[in-house]
Amino acid sequence: MREVLALAGVTFSIFSRTTLAVVGPSGSGKSTLASCLACLEPVSSGKIWFAQTEVTAMDAGQQCAIRPSIQMVFQDPASSLNPRMSALELVSEPLKIQDRFDKRERSDRAYDLLERVGLPREKAAQRPDEFSGGQRQRIAIARALVLEPKLVILDEALSALDCSVQAQVANLLMDLQASLGLTYLFITHDLAMAAHLADEIAVMERGRIVETGAARSVVDSPQHAVTRRLLLAAPGVRNSALEPQAV
Amino acid sequence: MQRRQIVRWLLVLGALHAMVACAGFFAPYDPVEQDREHPYLPPMKVHVVDERGHLHLQPFFYAARVRQGSFDQFDEDTGQAFALRFFVTGAKYRLLGFLPCRVHLFGTEGARLYLLGSDGFGRDQFSRILYGGQVSLLSGLLGAGFTLFMGAIIGTVAGFYGGWRDVLLMRLAELFLALPWLYLLFALRAFLPLAVSPLKAFLLVIVVLATVGWARPARLVRGVVLSAKERDFVRAARGFGASNAYLLRRHIVPETSSVLLTQAAILIPQFVLAEMTLSFLGLGIPEPAPSWGNLLASLQQYSVLVSYWWMYLPAVAIVPFFVGYQGLANTLNLDVAADKIEGKRGAPS
Amino acid sequence: MNYFLRRLLQGALLLIGVSFLTFLFSTLAPGNYLDEMRLNPQISSATLAALRSQYQLDRPLPIRYARWMNSIAHGELGYSFAYNSPVAPLVWVRARNTLLLTTTATLLVWGLALPLGIWSAERRGRLSDRALSSATAGLLVIPDLVLGLGLLILTARSGWFPTGGLVSVGFENLSPIRKLSDLVMHMALPVTALVLSALPILIRHIRAAMAEVLDASYLRAAAAHGIAHRKLLYGYALRAAANPLIALFGFSVGTLLSGSLLVEIIMSWPGIGPLLLEAILARDLYVVIGGVLFSTVFLVAGNFLADVLLYWADPRIRTMAGAR
């Protein structure tokens, strides 16, 4: 099997308590980037720094200690939530794995977070198939927050939701960021959403970052052809510089 | 909806198994008790109306008497009627294998009622079929249990760890699957000691069955584990710092339950049949312990085959079990398919 | 051509694997095999000594296996103690009868299952399809042991067909036509048992494979183009379903071989089955190994035939094979 180089020459930084959106067409390597940063995929070359320590230089045990600080919300809640577990069990699972607190405290924290994301206590005993798509994603978000991470990677976390639900969940994410002081790495192919949520945008194509900058400036004056293509595909983005270009 | 069907099939199977498990209660006589005066008796009839047309509340039967001029044709001796009593105290037995009991569903005094005829030694076939079922069914259940256990472990190791373990185990499985299973069964049985006690033979049969049958469940479990390993909820759990042991225990192994259940419904009847085949050929449970297989062994003699049709009845005994298990397996398959479709949809927002 | 070489190689590996497995099982026999034979008065001590030295029973396993493989390469499969003759010709005579039975049964069962499966797939959902489904379900719950014994009893009591043996006494004196009919009469019972036990599951699988293809959109597109129904069914649908069906064929060879083992024993057909059973009961080691090996050869041959059919039927495989 040939090895595929998914990422080559990707260099960027995220500042704490901000949101960086990584945008790109499918196949650009965004999800691989997310997996690498979440320590779910091994990195063949390059370095990752987190809170002044080099993650890639750590051994397995030290990496384990880092994990709670970097959490991920996946695209499809139908597959990222074990259908056999109740919402309560799902949200308290990370605490159980990390062996924090006793059972009572774990449940309390789980109920707490579920309420924060807008799911009432009574529903905590239900299984994922009894919730709607948007509600399931809220459970996934609550679960990602229970270990009190500093960085949350949202891998196409809104892409599988209906338009109206997207807006609700996006607002929830913004609220949580403000109240909990979170840093977001937001992966998406939707430039409009990125513009709405992010402080900075990095555009990727085929494993490379081709353009970065503050969100507003990337959207207003796109430099790269890929960025322009993504803009054309994004509905509802007001851009004065938008005119048909030879693609 | 499928759940109700599954429950219905389980109830049917449960009832059938219960009847066999309580063989001591349902069987009027001891299965090894011989009566050399009455070999190869055809099934006897139970009457409620006597010759003169009178209705009796207590069912009765007539003893068998050899017909004049023949030595193996029997008639009913209407001179004397024997009563059929219910809930009688009879020979001691152990209910479900451990509770000492003496009550039988029905019994007779003075003469024996051969409901399904007698064999060459005058043993009651009805009792032998019930007790024989215990041996055959237990072999099938235990054999299938071991096979599934072995297959589940091998499949999980191959699917989860991959690499050389996976290649080696799956090549081995292919080898076992490629062979005609009965030949493999024979070959394996051939090299184990032949003349052993019934208990040892029983254990031997189970081991042999388990060794032959692990390959298909292992392959199926491996498939499930492979796909479960890549599921997002497993990756998420890894992200929380879960160990391999936790992932296997909490997330991956539960996914294999439906495939294992369906395989159980398919394998159990096959293994019961395999034990029957082995015992029929003299390679399984030996006399005098009854098993459905060795009850049929006398049919290998041409004279028995032609003249004594009731000796075939132990073969028919397995058919209701096949019906039950196949019905269960079909419903389980449908259930698995339905689950897959339902899992995609959820409640409306 | 590489495709066939690869398949042959896989078959050869299977044979080696099986031979090793059987050999391995044979070493499980507790105690030395020859010890048991020593108790048999028919075998002289000189024979025992000769056998011991010939088969090197005191050497470690890999060496024994290598020597045994070597003798196989020379066409010797060992010696039968019960029959007092070399194993190979003994097994070969029986193998021919098994081959006759299994081949006839395979042809017959496919000859029945294919049209029935296609026919019911064509009419899927309708009354005729459901009737056939019920019939196959009914047959499925009767296991082959029960079926075989039942047929045997029926035949024995009615006397319609002979209940055992390959041919009648005095076969040599019959005219060719009568010889053939005598053989057919003797074959009728075992073939019927084999066919009835394999038929229901085969019909089900064929029906499923055809139904899946018939429901596919490319077939509906072809129908919309106005292609005649018959051509659609056989020219398009059957060819598309050929892959799983041919795989099924390979699988059915294995199933029929297993089935024939039991049927031969029950119906006294002089094939490998009864030989194998006798050998097991008589502890005739090399006959058992020889029998198992022959059955594996049949299996490999059947699967190879399936591969040839697949090559002929599926242009994708031809292209793949040619491209290498």
Residues C222 and C306 in one domain: yes
d(CA B147, nearest CA chain C) in Å = 19
The pLDDT score that the predictor gives to residue A3 is 62
pLDDT tens digits, one per residue of A123-132: 888 999 899 8
For the cut 70, the answer to whether the pLDDT of residue A238 exceeds it is: no
The pLDDT score that the predictor gives to residue B218 is 93
The pLDDT score that the predictor gives to residue C77 is 74
For the cut 60, the answer to whether the pLDDT of residue A166 exceeds it is: yes
Which of C169 and B243 is assigned the larger pLDDT?
B243
Identify the weakest region by mean pLDDT among A186-190, B56-60, B128-132, C97-101: B56-60
Interface test mutation site (partner A, options B253, B339, B349, max chain A beta carbons within 10 A): B349
A58 interaction partners in chain B (CB closer than 8 Å): none
Alpha-carbon gap, residue C91 to C102, rounded angstroms: 16
For the cut 80, the answer to whether the pLDDT of residue C47 exceeds it is: no
Is A128's CB within 8 Å of B231's CB?
Answer: no
Identify the weakest region by mean pLDDT among B5-9, B93-97, B163-167, C248-252: B93-97
The pLDDT score that the predictor gives to residue B342 is 52
- What confidence category does residue A233 fall into, taking pLDDT thresholds of 50, 70 and 90? confident
Direct distance between the N- and C-terminal alpha carbons of chain C, in angstroms, rounded to an integer: 10
Residues C240 and C113 in one domain: yes
For the cut 60, the answer to whether the pLDDT of residue C23 exceeds it is: yes
- Strands (E) across chain C are located at 79-80, 85-86
Per DSSP, what are the bridge partners of residue A208?
A205
For the cut 80, the answer to whether the pLDDT of residue A171 exceeds it is: yes
For the cut 90, the answer to whether the pLDDT of residue C81 exceeds it is: no
Classify residue C316: in a domain, yes or no.
yes
Query: In whole angstroms, how far apart are CA C79 and each of B190, B192, B326, C26, C274?
Result: 17, 20, 45, 15, 18
Identify the weakest region by mean pLDDT among A24-28, A165-169, B67-71: B67-71
d(CA C99, nearest CA chain B) in Å = 15
The pLDDT score that the predictor gives to residue B175 is 79
Mean pLDDT of chain C: 81
Classify residue C67: in a domain, yes or no.
yes
The reply to whether ipTM tops 0.95 is no
Do strands A19-23 and A183-188 pair parallel, antiparallel, or not at all (unpaired)? parallel
The domain limits of chain A are 19-80+152-242
**By C-alpha distance, which of C1, C7, C2, C6 is closest to C304?**
C7
The pLDDT score that the predictor gives to residue B208 is 81
Which among C21, C149, C280 has CB closest to B283? C280
Identify the weakest region by mean pLDDT among A227-241, B323-337, C21-35: C21-35
pLDDT tens digits, one per residue of C233-255: 777 778 778 888 888 888 888 88
Residues C95 and C81 in one domain: no
Which of C186 and B84 is assigned the larger pLDDT?
C186
Residues C45 and C124 in one domain: no
* B198-213 vs B215-229: helix crossing angle, rounded to 10: 50
Is A40's CB within 8 Å of B239's CB?
Answer: yes
For the cut 90, the answer to whether the pLDDT of residue C112 exceeds it is: yes
C157 interaction partners in chain B (CB closer than 8 Å): 306, 309
The pLDDT score that the predictor gives to residue C41 is 72
The pLDDT score that the predictor gives to residue C106 is 93
**Residue C195: CATH number of its domain:** 1.10.3720.10
The pLDDT score that the predictor gives to residue B338 is 63
Identify the weakest region by mean pLDDT among B98-102, B214-218, B238-242: B98-102
For the cut 50, the answer to whether the pLDDT of residue C181 exceeds it is: yes
For the cut 50, the answer to whether the pLDDT of residue B133 exceeds it is: yes
The pLDDT score that the predictor gives to residue C32 is 47
Classify residue C10: in a domain, yes or no.
no
Do strands A49-50 and A53-54 pair parallel, antiparallel, or not at all (unpaired)? antiparallel
- 3-state secondary structure string across chain B: CHHHHHHHHHHHHHHHHHHHHCHHHHCCCCCCCCCCCCCCCCCCCCEEECCCCCEEEEEEEEEEEECCCCCCCEEEEEEEEEEEEEEEEEEEEEECCCEEEEEEEEEECCCCCCCCCECCCCCEHHHHHHHHHHHHHHHHHHHHHHHHHHHHHHHHHHHHHCHHHHHHHHHHHHHHHHCCHHHHHHHHHHCCCCCCCHHHHHHHHHHHHHHHHCHHHHHHHHHHHHHHHCCHHHHHHHHCCCCHHHHHHHHHHHHHHHHHHHHHHHHHHHHHHHHHHHHHCCCCCCCCCCCHHHHCHHHHCHHHHHHCHHHHHHHHHHHHHHHHHHHHHHHHHHHHHHHHHHHHCCCCC
Alpha-carbon gap, residue A68 to B233, rounded angstroms: 16
Identify the weakest region by mean pLDDT among B333-337, B338-342, C153-157, C180-184: B338-342
The pLDDT score that the predictor gives to residue C31 is 47
Q: In this structure, which topology does domain A19-80+152-242 adopt according to CATH?
A: Rossmann fold (3.40.50)
Alpha-carbon gap, residue C181 to B291, rounded angstroms: 40
pLDDT tens digits, one per residue of B248-267: 998 999 989 888 999 999 99
- CB of A55 closer than 8 Å to CB of A91: no
**By C-alpha distance, which of B318, B231, B172 is closest to A40?**
B231
What sign for the dihedral angle of Cα B60, B66, B67, B70? positive
For the cut 60, the answer to whether the pLDDT of residue B343 exceeds it is: no
Mean pLDDT across the stretch B162-181? 84
Q: Which of C61, C86, C111 is the last residue of a domain?
A: C86
What sign for the dihedral angle of Cα C187, C190, C192, C195? negative
Classify residue C14: in a domain, yes or no.
no
Q: What are phi and psi of A74, to 5 degrees?
A: -85, 170
Does the CB of A58 have a partner CB in chain B at under 8 Å? no
The residue of chain B with its CA nearest to that of C292 is B183
Identify the weakest region by mean pLDDT among A162-176, C170-184, C224-238, C246-260: C224-238
Alpha-carbon gap, residue B37 to B121, rounded angstroms: 8
The residue of chain B with its CA nearest to that of A131 is B347
* Sequence-distant (≥ 6) Cβ neighbours of residue A238 within 8 angstroms: none
The pLDDT score that the predictor gives to residue C33 is 54
Is B322's CB within 8 Å of C295's CB?
Answer: no
d(CA A247, nearest CA chain B) in Å = 36
Residues C58 and C147 in one domain: no
pLDDT tens digits, one per residue of B17-33: 998 988 888 888 888 88
Classify residue C160: in a domain, yes or no.
yes
Alpha-carbon gap, residue A46 to A67, rounded angstroms: 19
Q: Which of C70, C86, C102 is the last residue of a domain?
A: C86
Residues 226-255 of B with CB under 8 A from A: 231-233, 235-242, 246, 251, 254
Mean pLDDT of chain A: 83
Classify residue C135: in a domain, yes or no.
yes
d(CA A223, nearest CA chain B) in Å = 35
The residue of chain A with its CA nearest to that of B254 is A84
Mean pLDDT across the stretch C161-167? 79
Cβ contacts below 8 Å, chain B against chain C, sum to 112
For the cut 70, the answer to whether the pLDDT of residue B105 exceeds it is: yes
The pLDDT score that the predictor gives to residue A161 is 85
| Chain C partners (3+ C-beta pairs within 8 A) | B
The boundaries of the domain holding residue C108 are: 89-323
C292 interaction partners in chain B (CB closer than 8 Å): 183-184, 186-187
What pTM was computed for the model? 0.82
Q: Which of C38, C70, C86 is the last residue of a domain?
A: C86
Number of domains in chain C: 2
Chains C and B touch (3+ CB pairs under 8 A): yes
For the cut 70, the answer to whether the pLDDT of residue A232 exceeds it is: yes
Which of C24 and B167 is assigned the larger pLDDT?
B167
pLDDT tens digits, one per residue of A36-88: 877 777 777 777 777 777 777 777 777 777 888 888 999 888 889 998 899 99
